[in-house]
Structure 1
Amino acid sequence: MRGHSLTGIAKMAPRPLAVRPPERSLTIPVPERLQEKRGRTMDQLQSRLMSLPLELRQMIYRSVVGDSTMHMILKENKLGHLRCKAPSAIQCPLGFNGRTLSRECCWGTVDSANIWAPRRGNVVEPTDGDILPLLQTCRQIYSESINYLYSTNTFSFSDLDCLRYFSTTPRFSLIQTLDIEWCLSWPIYDPFAQHLLLSNPALFPPHDEATWEETWRIVAAMPHLAFVRVSLLYFDGFRDPRCEGRMLAPLWGVTRPKRFEVHVSWSGDEVEGAPFQLIRPVVQEVGEGEDEDGEQW
């Protein structure tokens, strides 16, 4: 598996976020030295929303922009996000689409470069989660509501590059709940298997070991992370337990979450002392008088 092609990378890599000068910052209060440059911020007393106590406004903001699962998607040269249609990330159908783990039942499909596209016949829904209109209303609403977007939602990623790009956003550190699903390329951390491949290097981003390790350095540095759920698909499993140990090694640096689950698709031994709970598939033992399919003989 070579990962994204050069064409795919050109389509996928988001444009860098513009560096907003301090005088154009959306967040209030405005430092006194910048008030003249930024212009006057109206008090919005004519608004019925702004006439409510702050506590009630915060409840409204959270209801509109928070307490959901946001599926982060790659688009051409930018990122997008879609609200999950299931009650929670755990109840959102997760399946294999022929290339990678995917939430197709919920939000669409992806091409070979993991670029999102709506499913055929579906009405194209906005890829901003229908949240931006509220945030763009005025500086006061933006300032009072923006933190709820990051701190109260579950952010779901099906692509490591998508997570890496999103980590550059200013409020990424406020995220508390993270859901990651990823298909591991077959020869990862297996020098013998990589030696058999005819390409050099054997693995290409984002399926290479450097991208995998950088991803977990990013996650380990998230200061407010409380819950992480990881779902990993690996077709043939690990030939050598040492290879699996090397793959799991970057995850040992993620120590902040109170709850850290790693679901894998292959069997193996238990991992003791890890900061995560490793959950393997349940293997049913063949009973006496039954074959492997459970048929009596």
Structure 2
Amino acid sequence: MTKLPLEIRRMIYEKALGGASIKVTDIKGALFSSRCRLFEQLDGPAHVLLDLALPLLRTCRQIYSEAIEYLYKANYFLFTTDAYKQPTLEYLPYYFLPQRLTQIRSVHFFWKMDSHHYYLMTHGLDPQMDEWLKSWDALSKLTGLQHLHITLSYTYWSEACKVLWEEHGARLLEPIKMITAPRDFVITLPGRSCSTDMDVGESKCIFRLPSGDDGDGNAAPV
């Protein structure tokens, strides 16, 4: 294979190691990856093992050095805070080398704001910001991102959540301003009543309102 022109080899690497939607979840301190089909069952156990041509990376040192970047830049990574109630995003720097993080191009993050890990704006409490800010800081390290979609949701979008979002939503989304790399940056807000008129600084972020079955953003991601 090394006798083929480099451009041909790159085409092979992208085809063999890319083109998948990969769900990434932390389970009891270990990173687990699975293949997602049309984003289904993102809040449940991993259901399809990856079928990428990973043995290709063990062929020889030259092929590894040429091909490894395609595992990161040619796939679509999905994260969710709901599955297993474990953090994932903010711990990526512990699992991946910095240069691998910068090779990731596409991310979709399904952010359950009332999951055990974040527990934001529930029961009348002010947002607990430490873990929330850690996740945004981790996102800011993905400097190669071109596509970033974030879906914010609650288990149940109640009238109390609406009131609390009106009071705290702008502060919660202040970290958007440090995410300046993605040219395609979309945040789906947790309820249709949310305002999309917020300052995003130099970020290219745009806001969308949900289109869930109940009309308030409570439907599971599909």
What range describes the TM-score normalised by the shorter chain of this pair?
0.7 to 0.9
SS of 2:131 mapped into structure 1: helix
Task: Read off the aligned partner of 2:207 and give its amino acid letter.
Answer: L
Q: Percent identity among equivalent residues? A: 25
User: Deviation at 1:230?
Assistant: 0.5
Q: Which residue of the partner structure matches residue 268 of structure 1?
A: 194
User: Deviation at 1:71?
Assistant: 1.1
1:164 to 71, 90, 94: 90
User: Deviation at 1:162?
Assistant: 1.4
SS of 1:133 mapped into structure 2: helix
User: Deviation at 1:268?
Assistant: 2.0
Q: What is the number of residues matched between the two proteins?
A: 193
Task: Read off the aligned partner of 2:139 and give its amino acid letter.
Answer: V
SS of 2:162 mapped into structure 1: coil
CA offsets 1:65-122 (integer angstroms, 9 cap, x no match): 1132211123344212222333xxxxx33xxxxxxxx526xxxx24xxxxx5x4xxxx
Q: Which residue of the partner structure matches residue 57 of structure 2?
A: 135
Matches within 5 A, 1:122-271: 126=49, 129-159=51-81, 161-168=87-94, 169-170=96-97, 171-185=100-114, 188-189=120-121, 193-194=124-125, 208-234=128-154, 235=156, 236=158, 237-240=161-164, 241-266=166-191, 267-271=193-197
Q: Which residue of the partner structure matches residue 218 of structure 2?
A: none
SS of 2:59 mapped into structure 1: coil
Separation in 2 of the partners of 1:81 and 1:59?
24
Name segments (4+ residues, structure 1) moved above 4 Å: none
User: Deviation at 1:129?
Assistant: 4.4
Tell me, which stretches of 5 or more residues in structure 1 are unaligned?
1-48, 87-91, 94-101, 111-115, 119-124, 196-202, 284-297
Separation in 1 of the partners of 2:143 and 2:8?
28
SS of 2:31 mapped into structure 1: strand
Separation in 2 of the partners of 1:130 and 1:153?
10
Separation in 2 of the partners of 1:85 and 1:137?
29
Task: Read off the aligned partner of 2:10 and give its amino acid letter.
Answer: Q
SS of 2:125 mapped into structure 1: helix
Task: Read off the aligned partner of 1:103 and give its amino acid letter.
Answer: L
User: Deviation at 1:164?
Assistant: 2.0
Task: Read off the aligned partner of 1:194 and give its amino acid letter.
Answer: L
Sort the Cα spacing of 1:272 and 1:279 in 2 relative to 1 into closer, same or farther, 3 A: same
The normalised TM-score by structure 2 is: 0.75
Separation in 1 of the partners of 2:89 and 2:177?
19
User: Deviation at 1:189?
Assistant: 4.9
Tell me, yes or no, if the aligned pair for 1:81 and 1:129 is still in contact at 8 Å: no
Tell me, yes or no, if the aligned pair for 2:146 and 2:182 is still in contact at 8 Å: yes
Tell me, yes or no, if the aligned pair for 1:173 and 1:224 is still in contact at 8 Å: yes
Tell me, yes or no, if the aligned pair for 2:18 and 2:52 is still in contact at 8 Å: no
Separation in 2 of the partners of 1:282 and 1:142?
43
Give the alignment's Cα RMSD to 1 decimal.
2.6
Task: Read off the aligned partner of 2:136 and give its amino acid letter.
Answer: W
Task: Read off the aligned partner of 2:146 and give its amino acid letter.
Answer: A
SS of 2:187 mapped into structure 1: strand
Tell me, which stretches of 5 or more residues in structure 2 are unaligned?
213-222
